[in-house]
Structure 1
Amino acid sequence: MIESCYLEPAEFIDSDHPAIQEFALKSLTAGDTALDHAVDLYYRVRDGIRYTPYLDYSDPEMYRASSVLRNGFGFCISKASLLAACGRVLQIESRVGFGDVTNHLNSSRLREINNGDIMRWHAFTEFHLEDRWVKATPAFNLELCTRFRIKPLEFNGLEDSIFHPFDADQRRHMEYLKMRGTFADIPLPEILATWKRHSPKLLKSNASGDFGAEAEIV
Protein backbone atom coordinates (compact mmCIF):
# COMPACT_ATOMS: atom_id res chain seq x y z
CA MET A 1 0.00 0.00 0.00
CA ILE A 2 1.40 3.40 -1.04
CA GLU A 3 1.48 6.21 1.50
CA SER A 4 -0.88 9.07 0.68
CA CYS A 5 1.95 11.58 1.07
CA TYR A 6 3.17 10.53 -2.38
CA LEU A 7 -0.04 11.86 -3.92
CA GLU A 8 -0.56 14.99 -1.84
CA PRO A 9 0.91 18.47 -2.40
CA ALA A 10 3.87 19.45 -0.22
CA GLU A 11 5.80 22.60 0.55
CA PHE A 12 8.20 22.27 -2.38
CA ILE A 13 6.42 19.64 -4.45
CA ASP A 14 3.42 21.97 -4.69
CA SER A 15 1.23 19.92 -6.99
CA ASP A 16 -1.82 21.99 -6.02
CA HIS A 17 -0.43 25.10 -7.75
CA PRO A 18 -2.60 26.08 -10.76
CA ALA A 19 0.39 26.42 -13.10
CA ILE A 20 1.63 22.93 -12.20
CA GLN A 21 -1.81 21.48 -12.78
CA GLU A 22 -2.16 23.20 -16.14
CA PHE A 23 1.28 22.02 -17.26
CA ALA A 24 0.66 18.43 -16.16
CA LEU A 25 -2.78 18.19 -17.72
CA LYS A 26 -2.11 19.89 -21.05
CA SER A 27 -1.19 16.75 -22.99
CA LEU A 28 -3.50 14.37 -21.17
CA THR A 29 -5.13 11.96 -23.62
CA ALA A 30 -8.08 9.74 -22.80
CA GLY A 31 -7.09 6.10 -22.83
CA ASP A 32 -3.44 6.68 -22.06
CA THR A 33 -2.08 4.76 -19.08
CA ALA A 34 -0.27 6.14 -16.04
CA LEU A 35 2.94 4.82 -17.60
CA ASP A 36 2.23 6.79 -20.80
CA HIS A 37 1.63 9.95 -18.78
CA ALA A 38 4.81 9.49 -16.74
CA VAL A 39 6.92 9.11 -19.89
CA ASP A 40 5.33 12.19 -21.44
CA LEU A 41 5.94 14.26 -18.30
CA TYR A 42 9.55 13.09 -18.13
CA TYR A 43 10.44 14.39 -21.59
CA ARG A 44 8.55 17.65 -21.14
CA VAL A 45 10.44 18.40 -17.93
CA ARG A 46 13.77 17.07 -19.21
CA ASP A 47 13.81 19.21 -22.34
CA GLY A 48 11.36 21.98 -21.47
CA ILE A 49 13.23 23.16 -18.38
CA ARG A 50 16.83 24.21 -19.02
CA TYR A 51 19.46 22.74 -16.71
CA THR A 52 21.83 25.11 -14.94
CA PRO A 53 23.90 24.70 -11.77
CA TYR A 54 24.33 28.46 -11.50
CA LEU A 55 21.63 29.80 -9.24
CA ASP A 56 21.05 30.85 -5.64
CA TYR A 57 21.06 27.58 -3.69
CA SER A 58 20.16 29.40 -0.47
CA ASP A 59 16.83 30.54 -1.95
CA PRO A 60 14.01 28.08 -1.14
CA GLU A 61 12.21 29.11 -4.33
CA MET A 62 14.90 27.36 -6.37
CA TYR A 63 13.48 24.06 -5.08
CA ARG A 64 9.76 24.80 -5.36
CA ALA A 65 8.15 23.10 -8.36
CA SER A 66 5.93 26.04 -9.32
CA SER A 67 8.89 28.45 -9.22
CA VAL A 68 10.98 26.12 -11.38
CA LEU A 69 8.19 25.97 -13.93
CA ARG A 70 7.83 29.75 -13.92
CA ASN A 71 11.59 30.31 -14.26
CA GLY A 72 12.04 27.75 -17.03
CA PHE A 73 15.34 26.56 -15.58
CA GLY A 74 16.65 24.56 -12.66
CA PHE A 75 19.14 21.94 -11.52
CA CYS A 76 18.72 18.29 -10.61
CA ILE A 77 16.78 18.82 -7.36
CA SER A 78 14.44 21.46 -8.71
CA LYS A 79 13.68 19.53 -11.91
CA ALA A 80 13.03 16.36 -9.89
CA SER A 81 10.69 18.38 -7.67
CA LEU A 82 8.77 19.62 -10.71
CA LEU A 83 8.49 16.15 -12.25
CA ALA A 84 7.21 14.68 -8.98
CA ALA A 85 4.64 17.48 -8.64
CA CYS A 86 3.35 16.82 -12.15
CA GLY A 87 3.09 13.11 -11.43
CA ARG A 88 0.94 13.78 -8.38
CA VAL A 89 -1.41 15.95 -10.42
CA LEU A 90 -2.06 12.90 -12.61
CA GLN A 91 -2.53 10.68 -9.55
CA ILE A 92 0.77 8.87 -10.04
CA GLU A 93 2.47 8.22 -6.71
CA SER A 94 5.65 10.27 -6.93
CA ARG A 95 8.59 11.01 -4.66
CA VAL A 96 12.14 12.31 -4.86
CA GLY A 97 15.31 10.30 -4.31
CA PHE A 98 18.86 11.39 -3.63
CA GLY A 99 22.38 10.08 -3.92
CA ASP A 100 25.95 11.27 -3.92
CA VAL A 101 27.76 11.04 -7.25
CA THR A 102 31.18 11.78 -8.64
CA ASN A 103 30.87 13.86 -11.80
CA HIS A 104 34.02 13.16 -13.79
CA LEU A 105 33.05 15.71 -16.48
CA ASN A 106 32.64 18.81 -14.36
CA SER A 107 33.66 22.16 -15.77
CA SER A 108 36.54 23.81 -13.92
CA ARG A 109 34.26 26.62 -12.78
CA LEU A 110 31.65 24.29 -11.29
CA ARG A 111 34.36 22.15 -9.72
CA GLU A 112 35.71 25.24 -7.95
CA ILE A 113 32.30 26.33 -6.67
CA ASN A 114 31.39 22.81 -5.56
CA ASN A 115 34.78 22.16 -3.93
CA GLY A 116 35.49 19.10 -6.06
CA ASP A 117 33.78 16.50 -8.22
CA ILE A 118 31.54 14.90 -5.59
CA MET A 119 28.02 16.19 -6.03
CA ARG A 120 26.11 15.56 -2.81
CA TRP A 121 22.32 15.22 -2.80
CA HIS A 122 22.03 14.63 -6.54
CA ALA A 123 18.30 14.15 -7.17
CA PHE A 124 15.96 12.07 -9.30
CA THR A 125 12.22 11.40 -9.31
CA GLU A 126 10.62 8.06 -8.53
CA PHE A 127 7.23 7.09 -9.97
CA HIS A 128 5.18 4.13 -8.77
CA LEU A 129 4.32 2.38 -12.03
CA GLU A 130 3.30 -1.19 -12.80
CA ASP A 131 3.51 -2.06 -9.06
CA ARG A 132 7.09 -0.89 -8.59
CA TRP A 133 9.08 2.28 -8.03
CA VAL A 134 10.98 3.45 -11.11
CA LYS A 135 13.70 6.12 -11.13
CA ALA A 136 13.59 8.98 -13.63
CA THR A 137 16.36 11.60 -13.86
CA PRO A 138 15.19 14.65 -15.86
CA ALA A 139 18.18 16.85 -15.02
CA PHE A 140 20.09 17.31 -18.30
CA ASN A 141 18.09 18.63 -21.24
CA LEU A 142 18.88 17.27 -24.70
CA GLU A 143 20.62 20.44 -25.90
CA LEU A 144 23.00 20.37 -22.93
CA CYS A 145 23.77 16.69 -23.50
CA THR A 146 24.62 17.43 -27.12
CA ARG A 147 27.03 20.20 -26.13
CA PHE A 148 28.81 18.08 -23.54
CA ARG A 149 28.62 14.89 -25.62
CA ILE A 150 26.73 13.16 -22.81
CA LYS A 151 24.34 10.36 -23.65
CA PRO A 152 20.84 11.74 -23.05
CA LEU A 153 18.85 9.76 -20.53
CA GLU A 154 15.78 8.06 -21.94
CA PHE A 155 12.81 6.87 -19.86
CA ASN A 156 10.28 4.18 -20.75
CA GLY A 157 8.50 3.94 -17.42
CA LEU A 158 9.61 0.34 -16.90
CA GLU A 159 13.34 0.67 -16.20
CA ASP A 160 15.36 3.00 -13.98
CA SER A 161 16.73 6.02 -15.81
CA ILE A 162 19.90 7.14 -14.04
CA PHE A 163 23.10 8.71 -15.28
CA HIS A 164 25.43 6.75 -17.54
CA PRO A 165 28.90 5.84 -16.24
CA PHE A 166 30.47 6.94 -19.56
CA ASP A 167 29.81 9.70 -22.07
CA ALA A 168 29.51 9.41 -25.87
CA ASP A 169 33.33 9.34 -26.15
CA GLN A 170 33.68 6.65 -23.45
CA ARG A 171 35.08 9.10 -20.93
CA ARG A 172 34.06 8.47 -17.33
CA HIS A 173 30.95 10.48 -16.53
CA MET A 174 28.82 9.75 -13.44
CA GLU A 175 29.74 7.37 -10.63
CA TYR A 176 27.11 6.76 -7.93
CA LEU A 177 28.79 6.65 -4.52
CA LYS A 178 25.84 6.16 -2.16
CA MET A 179 22.10 6.63 -1.98
CA ARG A 180 20.58 8.94 0.62
CA GLY A 181 17.03 7.63 0.42
CA THR A 182 13.65 8.77 -0.87
CA PHE A 183 11.39 11.54 0.44
CA ALA A 184 7.87 12.85 0.05
CA ASP A 185 9.26 16.39 -0.21
CA ILE A 186 12.61 18.14 -0.61
CA PRO A 187 14.54 17.78 2.70
CA LEU A 188 16.02 21.25 2.35
CA PRO A 189 17.50 21.69 5.87
CA GLU A 190 19.51 18.46 5.56
CA ILE A 191 20.68 19.37 2.06
CA LEU A 192 21.84 22.84 3.06
CA ALA A 193 23.59 21.50 6.16
CA THR A 194 25.57 19.03 4.04
CA TRP A 195 26.56 21.67 1.52
CA LYS A 196 27.56 24.06 4.29
CA ARG A 197 30.04 21.43 5.53
CA HIS A 198 31.38 20.18 2.22
CA SER A 199 30.62 22.80 -0.45
CA PRO A 200 30.19 26.15 1.30
CA LYS A 201 30.85 28.13 -1.88
CA LEU A 202 27.64 26.74 -3.35
CA LEU A 203 25.67 28.71 -0.78
CA LYS A 204 27.64 31.91 -1.30
CA SER A 205 28.38 32.11 -5.00
CA ASN A 206 24.94 32.91 -6.48
CA ALA A 207 26.75 32.38 -9.78
CA SER A 208 25.19 33.00 -13.16
CA GLY A 209 26.08 32.24 -16.75
CA ASP A 210 25.62 29.72 -19.53
CA PHE A 211 26.71 26.33 -18.22
CA GLY A 212 26.37 24.81 -21.68
CA ALA A 213 28.99 27.20 -23.04
CA GLU A 214 31.53 25.64 -20.68
CA ALA A 215 31.40 22.35 -22.59
CA GLU A 216 34.44 23.38 -24.58
CA ILE A 217 36.56 23.75 -21.45
CA VAL A 218 35.64 20.51 -19.64
Structure 2
Amino acid sequence: MTYLKPTYYFDFENDSIQNIISEFKTDRLSDKMKVIGLYTKVRDNWKYDPYNISFLESNYRSSYIAKKQTGNCVEKSIILIACLRALNFPARLHLGKVKNHLAVEKLTEKFSSNELTPHGMVNVYLNNKWLKMSPVFNKSLCEKFNVEPLDFDGENNSFLQQYNTKGTRFMEYIDDYGHFEDVPIDFMKTNLKAHYPHIFDTNESITEFKL
Protein backbone atom coordinates (compact mmCIF):
# COMPACT_ATOMS: atom_id res chain seq x y z
CA MET A 1 0.00 0.00 0.00
CA THR A 2 1.19 3.50 -0.87
CA TYR A 3 0.65 4.78 2.66
CA LEU A 4 3.19 2.32 4.06
CA LYS A 5 6.18 3.43 2.03
CA PRO A 6 9.13 5.46 3.28
CA THR A 7 9.61 8.77 1.47
CA TYR A 8 12.01 11.68 1.61
CA TYR A 9 9.89 13.19 4.40
CA PHE A 10 8.69 9.99 6.07
CA ASP A 11 12.20 8.55 6.33
CA PHE A 12 11.32 6.07 9.03
CA GLU A 13 14.29 3.82 8.35
CA ASN A 14 16.44 6.46 10.06
CA ASP A 15 17.71 5.61 13.55
CA SER A 16 15.94 8.59 15.12
CA ILE A 17 12.54 7.15 14.15
CA GLN A 18 13.54 3.57 14.91
CA ASN A 19 14.48 4.66 18.43
CA ILE A 20 11.04 6.17 18.98
CA ILE A 21 9.22 3.00 17.95
CA SER A 22 11.55 0.50 19.63
CA GLU A 23 9.30 -0.01 22.66
CA PHE A 24 6.37 -0.88 20.37
CA LYS A 25 8.18 -3.63 18.46
CA THR A 26 6.63 -6.40 20.53
CA ASP A 27 3.95 -9.03 20.20
CA ARG A 28 2.79 -8.27 23.73
CA LEU A 29 0.88 -5.23 22.50
CA SER A 30 -2.17 -5.32 20.24
CA ASP A 31 -2.23 -3.18 17.12
CA LYS A 32 -4.65 -0.83 18.82
CA MET A 33 -2.41 -0.41 21.87
CA LYS A 34 0.62 0.26 19.67
CA VAL A 35 -1.16 3.05 17.82
CA ILE A 36 -2.53 4.55 21.04
CA GLY A 37 0.93 4.42 22.60
CA LEU A 38 2.58 6.07 19.62
CA TYR A 39 -0.07 8.77 19.45
CA THR A 40 0.34 9.63 23.13
CA LYS A 41 4.13 9.59 22.93
CA VAL A 42 4.23 12.02 20.01
CA ARG A 43 1.52 14.22 21.51
CA ASP A 44 3.36 14.73 24.80
CA ASN A 45 7.08 14.34 24.00
CA TRP A 46 7.19 17.26 21.55
CA LYS A 47 5.77 20.53 22.84
CA TYR A 48 3.49 22.37 20.47
CA ASP A 49 5.00 25.49 18.87
CA PRO A 50 3.14 27.16 15.98
CA TYR A 51 5.52 30.09 15.67
CA ASN A 52 8.48 28.46 13.91
CA ILE A 53 7.93 28.39 10.14
CA SER A 54 10.29 26.87 7.62
CA PHE A 55 10.31 26.48 3.85
CA LEU A 56 13.36 24.21 3.90
CA GLU A 57 12.35 20.77 2.70
CA SER A 58 14.97 19.11 4.90
CA ASN A 59 13.29 20.56 8.00
CA TYR A 60 10.16 18.52 7.30
CA ARG A 61 11.91 15.16 7.32
CA SER A 62 10.71 13.04 10.21
CA SER A 63 14.30 12.21 11.17
CA TYR A 64 15.05 15.93 11.55
CA ILE A 65 11.90 16.75 13.52
CA ALA A 66 12.47 13.78 15.83
CA LYS A 67 15.64 15.41 17.14
CA LYS A 68 13.81 18.60 18.17
CA GLN A 69 11.95 19.22 21.42
CA THR A 70 9.08 21.13 19.86
CA GLY A 71 6.98 21.00 16.71
CA ASN A 72 4.03 22.62 15.01
CA CYS A 73 0.96 20.64 14.01
CA VAL A 74 2.35 19.52 10.65
CA GLU A 75 5.72 18.56 12.11
CA LYS A 76 4.22 16.49 14.91
CA SER A 77 1.91 14.79 12.43
CA ILE A 78 4.90 13.92 10.24
CA ILE A 79 6.67 12.22 13.14
CA LEU A 80 3.60 10.16 13.99
CA ILE A 81 3.01 9.14 10.38
CA ALA A 82 6.62 8.01 10.01
CA CYS A 83 6.37 5.98 13.21
CA LEU A 84 3.09 4.39 12.15
CA ARG A 85 4.42 3.41 8.74
CA ALA A 86 7.54 2.01 10.37
CA LEU A 87 5.30 -0.36 12.34
CA ASN A 88 3.33 -1.28 9.21
CA PHE A 89 0.27 0.86 9.88
CA PRO A 90 -0.91 2.77 6.79
CA ALA A 91 -0.89 6.48 7.58
CA ARG A 92 -1.19 9.78 5.70
CA LEU A 93 -1.14 13.52 6.32
CA HIS A 94 -4.44 15.43 6.45
CA LEU A 95 -4.49 19.24 6.24
CA GLY A 96 -7.10 21.87 6.96
CA LYS A 97 -7.71 25.28 8.48
CA VAL A 98 -8.72 25.82 12.09
CA LYS A 99 -9.84 28.74 14.21
CA ASN A 100 -8.55 29.03 17.77
CA HIS A 101 -10.97 30.70 20.21
CA LEU A 102 -8.76 30.57 23.34
CA ALA A 103 -5.59 32.48 24.22
CA VAL A 104 -5.64 34.16 20.82
CA GLU A 105 -3.75 37.33 21.76
CA LYS A 106 -0.31 36.07 20.72
CA LEU A 107 -1.71 34.28 17.66
CA THR A 108 -3.42 37.45 16.50
CA GLU A 109 -0.30 39.49 17.16
CA LYS A 110 1.92 37.17 15.10
CA PHE A 111 -0.47 36.07 12.36
CA SER A 112 -2.96 38.97 12.38
CA SER A 113 -5.59 36.25 12.71
CA ASN A 114 -6.75 33.51 15.06
CA GLU A 115 -6.96 31.14 12.10
CA LEU A 116 -4.15 28.63 11.62
CA THR A 117 -3.39 27.08 8.24
CA PRO A 118 -2.35 24.61 7.08
CA HIS A 119 -3.24 22.67 10.21
CA GLY A 120 -1.96 19.11 10.22
CA MET A 121 -3.45 15.91 11.54
CA VAL A 122 -3.05 12.19 10.84
CA ASN A 123 -5.17 9.54 9.15
CA VAL A 124 -4.34 5.98 10.23
CA TYR A 125 -5.80 2.76 8.82
CA LEU A 126 -6.60 0.59 11.82
CA ASN A 127 -8.90 -2.42 12.07
CA ASN A 128 -10.16 -1.98 8.50
CA LYS A 129 -11.09 1.69 8.69
CA TRP A 130 -9.47 5.11 8.36
CA LEU A 131 -9.41 7.16 11.55
CA LYS A 132 -8.48 10.81 12.10
CA MET A 133 -6.29 11.85 15.01
CA SER A 134 -4.44 15.00 16.01
CA PRO A 135 -1.31 14.59 18.20
CA VAL A 136 -0.78 18.34 18.37
CA PHE A 137 -1.53 19.80 21.81
CA ASN A 138 0.69 18.25 24.48
CA LYS A 139 -0.83 17.43 27.86
CA SER A 140 0.99 20.18 29.77
CA LEU A 141 -0.24 22.81 27.31
CA CYS A 142 -3.81 21.56 27.62
CA GLU A 143 -3.61 21.79 31.41
CA LYS A 144 -2.43 25.38 31.12
CA PHE A 145 -5.52 26.36 29.13
CA ASN A 146 -8.00 24.16 31.03
CA VAL A 147 -8.57 21.86 28.09
CA GLU A 148 -8.87 18.10 28.36
CA PRO A 149 -5.99 16.40 26.50
CA LEU A 150 -7.17 14.89 23.23
CA ASP A 151 -6.93 11.12 23.70
CA PHE A 152 -7.15 8.47 21.00
CA ASP A 153 -8.96 5.21 21.79
CA GLY A 154 -8.03 3.31 18.64
CA GLU A 155 -11.65 3.04 17.52
CA ASN A 156 -12.99 6.56 16.94
CA ASN A 157 -11.86 9.80 15.31
CA SER A 158 -10.00 12.09 17.69
CA PHE A 159 -8.98 15.34 16.05
CA LEU A 160 -10.99 18.22 17.49
CA GLN A 161 -11.16 19.84 20.94
CA GLN A 162 -14.27 21.96 20.58
CA TYR A 163 -14.51 23.27 24.15
CA ASN A 164 -12.41 23.68 27.26
CA THR A 165 -13.40 22.30 30.66
CA LYS A 166 -15.50 25.42 31.34
CA GLY A 167 -17.53 25.00 28.16
CA THR A 168 -15.81 27.82 26.28
CA ARG A 169 -15.28 27.31 22.56
CA PHE A 170 -11.69 26.23 21.83
CA MET A 171 -11.06 24.86 18.32
CA GLU A 172 -13.14 25.01 15.16
CA TYR A 173 -12.38 23.46 11.77
CA ILE A 174 -13.30 25.92 9.04
CA ASP A 175 -11.74 24.29 5.95
CA ASP A 176 -10.56 20.86 4.86
CA TYR A 177 -7.78 20.44 2.27
CA GLY A 178 -7.94 16.66 2.23
CA HIS A 179 -5.26 14.01 2.71
CA PHE A 180 -1.87 13.60 1.09
CA GLU A 181 0.37 10.63 0.41
CA ASP A 182 3.47 12.71 1.16
CA VAL A 183 4.20 16.16 2.60
CA PRO A 184 2.87 18.70 0.02
CA ILE A 185 5.56 21.30 0.58
CA ASP A 186 4.63 23.45 -2.44
CA PHE A 187 0.97 23.54 -1.40
CA MET A 188 1.99 24.49 2.14
CA LYS A 189 4.20 27.35 0.92
CA THR A 190 1.44 28.74 -1.30
CA ASN A 191 -1.13 28.37 1.46
CA LEU A 192 1.01 30.19 4.04
CA LYS A 193 1.81 33.08 1.73
CA ALA A 194 -1.84 33.46 0.72
CA HIS A 195 -3.12 33.58 4.30
CA TYR A 196 -0.29 35.48 5.98
CA PRO A 197 1.18 37.86 3.37
CA HIS A 198 2.19 40.34 6.08
CA ILE A 199 4.82 38.02 7.56
CA PHE A 200 6.65 37.69 4.26
CA ASP A 201 8.83 40.39 2.79
CA THR A 202 9.59 40.80 -0.90
CA ASN A 203 12.58 38.50 -0.57
CA GLU A 204 11.40 35.21 -2.04
CA SER A 205 14.55 33.49 -0.81
CA ILE A 206 13.35 33.51 2.80
CA THR A 207 13.42 29.93 4.07
CA GLU A 208 12.92 29.94 7.82
CA PHE A 209 11.85 32.32 10.56
CA LYS A 210 10.59 32.48 14.13
CA LEU A 211 7.56 34.66 14.69
- Tell me whether the two structures share a fold, i.e. TM-score over 0.5: yes
1:120-159 counterparts in 2 under 5 A? Answer: 120-159=117-156
CA distance in 2, matches of 1:106, 1:79: 21
Which segment is superposed worse, 86-95 or 198-207?
198-207
TM-score normalised according to structure 1 size? 0.87
Q: Could you tell me which amino acid in structure 2 is paired with residue 150 of structure 1?
A: V
Where does the alignment leave 5 or more consecutive residues of structure 1 unmatched? 209-218
CA distance in 2, matches of 1:23, 1:111: 35
- Alignment partner, residue 214 of structure 1: none
- Alignment partner, residue 206 of structure 1: 209
- Alignment partner, residue 56 of structure 2: 59
Counterpart check, 1:174 vs 2:177? no
Seq. identity, %? 29
Q: Report the alpha carbon displacement of residue 201 of structure 1 after superposing the two structures with TM.
A: 4.6
Counterpart check, 1:82 vs 2:85? no
- Residue number among 2, 21, 27 corresponding to 1:5 in the alignment: 2
Where does the alignment leave 5 or more consecutive residues of structure 2 unmatched? 202-207
Per-residue displacement from partner, 1:79-136 (whole Å, max 9, x unpaired)?
Answer: 0000000001100001111111111124322222222112122111111001000111
Counterpart check, 1:118 vs 2:115? yes
- RMSD, matched Cα: 1.8
1:36-51 counterparts in 2 under 5 A? Answer: 36-51=33-48
SS class of match (1:71): coil
Given that 2:43 and 2:137 are in contact with CA atoms closer than 8 Å, whether structure 1 keeps it comes out as yes
SS class of match (1:206): strand
Q: Could you tell me which amino acid in structure 2 is paired with residue 159 of structure 1?
A: N
Given that 2:125 and 2:131 are in contact with CA atoms closer than 8 Å, whether structure 1 keeps it comes out as yes
Given that 2:96 and 2:176 are in contact with CA atoms closer than 8 Å, whether structure 1 keeps it comes out as yes
- Alignment partner, residue 97 of structure 2: 100
Aligned length: 205
Per-residue displacement from partner, 1:54-93 (whole Å, max 9, x unpaired)?
Answer: 2133333442211111012101000000000000110000
CA distance in 1, matches of 2:83, 2:18: 7
Counterpart check, 1:25 vs 2:22? yes
Moved segments of 4+, more than 4 Å: 201-205
Residues 112 and 178 of structure 1: is their aligned pair in 2 closer, same or farther, counting only changes over 3 Å?
A: same
SS class of match (2:13): coil
CA distance in 1, matches of 2:209, 2:167: 32
Residues 74 and 22 of structure 1: is their aligned pair in 2 closer, same or farther, counting only changes over 3 Å?
A: same
CA distance in 1, matches of 2:11, 2:198: 28
Q: Report the alpha carbon displacement of residue 194 of structure 1 after superposing the two structures with TM.
A: 1.1
Given that 2:104 and 2:114 are in contact with CA atoms closer than 8 Å, whether structure 1 keeps it comes out as no
